[in-house]
């Protein structure tokens, strides 16, 4: 696991955008896993700017989102399909037919298997983008989720419901169920990029990177993956015990890749 500590949230988004751009350039038909939530928005804004001003193209990209609320149609303003259209898809040259999310209006007991088959049919995910919840969840894999889980329905915790309540009007229906890629599904991605910013995520980041492997902290399962990059700003890195080492290692990685141009970190 490579931990990169940036000066601020803007720098974290820019570094993440560099990785996304490089991966797009390296692959003929890239397949990305994408995330929703507040943290990825800055990444998507950076990618939109590069599309508009630097010619970054998404025309060959296929995407699979991590999750979707059960019971919300795609056109609902709080659905994750609507979020992705608003925050990314409507602003770049991606083919609409190549953007996939779990179907929150289908039979939830069948939708998971269908989504798994769809991902497999596209050859698997090359780069999975993740955020992290304050309780350590990735996707909607809440604490105690099986580390071997596949795409399925999950009941959201009170903490997650409270964190997301700000997006819903006081009397508006807020789903307590979601379809989410499982932890095993996420771990099958060829590479993983986790972004976290802000002091509120510091404890979750520390437990993900340095804590014991535990179903109580689903993100800790990323320790099992051979190619994970964790990008955090100064405040999200605030509780990392080995922070000095990560900064020391990052400096040496930069020197290594400067000596071997063309290779991705």
264 pLDDT tier (thresholds 50, 70, 90)? very low
Question: Which of 116, 126, 142, 233 is an active site residue?
Answer: 142
* pLDDT at residue 117 tops 50: yes
User: How far from chain centre, in Å, is Cα 73?
Assistant: 22
pLDDT per position as a tens digit, 3-38: 999 999 999 999 999 999 999 999 999 999 999 988
265 pLDDT tier (thresholds 50, 70, 90)? very low
Question: Which of 15, 65, 67, 233 is an active site residue?
Answer: 67
pTM: 0.93
Give one DSSP letter per residue of 198-210, joined into a string. Answer: SGGGHHHHHHHHT
For residue 202, what are the contacts with CB-CB under 8 A and spacing of at least 6?
Answer: 235, 236, 237, 238, 239
Average pLDDT over residues 206-214: 97
Tokens for 199?
């002091």
Question: Which of 65, 137, 141, 164 is an active site residue?
Answer: 137
CA angle, residues 23, 1, 58, in degrees to nearest 5: 15
pLDDT per position as a tens digit, 139-172: 999 999 999 999 999 999 998 999 889 889 888 8
State the pLDDT at residue 262: 52
If phi > 0 it is left, if psi is from -120 to 50 it is alpha, else beta; for residue 261 that is beta
Task: Provide the 3-class DSSP secondary structure of residue 46.
Answer: helix
All structural domains of the chain: 2-259 (3.40.50.1360)
Query: Annotated catalytic, 103?
Result: no
């Amino acid at each position: 696991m490579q931990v990169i500590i940036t000066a601020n949230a803007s720098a974290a988004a820019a570094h993440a955008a560099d990785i996304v751009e490089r991966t797009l350039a390296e692959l003929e038909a890239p397949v990305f896993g994408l995330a929703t939530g507040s943290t990825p928005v800055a990444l998507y804004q950076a990618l939109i700017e590069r599309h508009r001003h630097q010619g970054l193209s998404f025309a060959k990209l296929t995407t699979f989102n991590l999750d979707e609320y059960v019971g919300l149609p795609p056109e609902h303003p709080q659905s994750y399909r609507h979020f992705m259209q608003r925050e990314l898809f409507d602003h770049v040259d991606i083919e609409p037919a190549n953007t996939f999310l779990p179907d929150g209006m289908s039979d939830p007991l069948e939708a998971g298997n269908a989504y798994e088959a769809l991902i497999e049919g596209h050859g698997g995910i090359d780069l999975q983008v993740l955020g992290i919840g304050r309780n350590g969840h990735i996707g909607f894999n809440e604490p105690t989720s099986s580390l071997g889980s596949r795409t399925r329905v999950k009941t959201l915790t009170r903490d997650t419901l409270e964190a997301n309540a700000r997006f819903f009007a006081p009397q508006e229906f807020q789903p307590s169920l979601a379809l989410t890629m499982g932890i095993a599904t996420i771990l099958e991605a060829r590479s993983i990029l986790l972004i976290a910013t802000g002091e509120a995520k510091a404890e979750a980041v520390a437990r993900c990177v340095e804590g014991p492997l535990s179903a109580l902290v689903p993100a800790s399962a990323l320790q099992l993956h051979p190619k994970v990059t964790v990008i955090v700003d100064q405040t999200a890195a605030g509780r990392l015990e080995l922070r000095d080492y990560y900064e020391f290692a990052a400096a040496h990685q930069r020197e290594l890749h400067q000596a071997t141009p063309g290779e991705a970190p």
